[in-house]
Amino acid sequence: MTGPGSRPLFGVLTGTWLSQAGYVAAELGVADHLSDEPRPIDEVAPLVGADPDALYRVMRALAAVGVFEETGPRRFALNDEGRMLRSDSPASFKHFILLNGLEHIRLFGELLDNVRTGRPASDKVYGKHLYDYLGEHPELQDHFFAAHGRTAPRVAMRALSEIDLSDARTIVDLGGGDGGLLEHVLKDHPHLHGTLFDLPTTVPYARERLTAAGLADRCDLVGGSFFEEIPEGADVYVIAHCLHNWNDEKAAEILRNIRRAVPGHGRLLVLEHLVAGEGFHLSKLIDLLMMVVDGRERSEAELSGLLEKSGFELRGVRSVAFPGLPSDSVLEAVPA
């Protein structure tokens, strides 16, 4: 099969076209009406409120690059990629693609200005950081937590699986979102009591999830900002895929605030996608998204440097691959 990847420049040229085609399919919920058995597009179109011919052309393009399978004239079935657009998929990418089509496309429209000025596109588009904007728009924040709440905790828990937490009694998840990661940690470690710390607008999402998981009596939910005061005195602190949302100055400020909260015996676990080596690595593409929101993906050396300047000593780095997703790394640090 040929596709945009057969010639890199074609992939660059058609990337936006295909991302918007994926957004249309996700927004309409096409995958929810398909299965492994082929189905005529003329049956699917009225179910999703689409023009049959226009939908066919979108699906034909997506099938041409391996998303969905075109099994015959105007007939489509799910393949492994298409199943990831179903609402009920355990590893659904539907909400990532919806966010991409709704908001990320706006930010990348200002990439040239971002590169010329060095100022993040989010400042120009929203007048604020993307995550502040999401907090003001619940419908978008719903997509954000639905996206990260399915895939991110599974990846993070696999990365954390080799970390010994047997001597800990308390753990704080900084920027814990809807509680997906803390849910997994508390279920896997029944001896732990957890604290989820995130913005006050985020805490209700976590309360709903952790209560439904039967963990309300084993965790505290604290609203606040890690640019201000952080809960003190826990044995272990985790900050997962948050530092990359911020530039070096802001990331260092967060780490200094964490250092003030971590007791002498405590530990900090930083989870990030590390940029490494030459050639293709998905983190290098994610870094473009981070750039337009005033963050960055970092190498091990860059993160180690930030930790050292903020009063931590790096004790070890563990990386783990997860099929179909960027590799994840845990940097374990202690107070210097």
Residues belonging to the active site: 244
264 bridge partner residues: none
Q: With b meaning 16 or more CB within 10 Å and e meaning fewer, what string describes 22-38? A: bbbbbebbbbbebeeee
In sequence order, the 6+-apart residues with CB closer than 8 A to the CB of 302 are none
106 bridge partner residues: none
Distance CA 106, CA 108 (A): 6
Asked whether 245 and 272 are in contact (CB, 8 A), the reply is no
Asked whether 143 and 98 are in contact (CB, 8 A), the reply is yes
Distance CA 200, CA 176 (A): 12
Asked whether 174 and 251 are in contact (CB, 8 A), the reply is no
Q: With b meaning 16 or more CB within 10 Å and e meaning fewer, what string describes 228-247? A: eebbeebbbbbbbbbbbbbe
Residue 77: left (phi > 0), alpha (psi -120 to 50), or beta?
beta
Asked whether 151 and 326 are in contact (CB, 8 A), the reply is no
3-state secondary structure 32-44: HHCCCCCEEHHHH
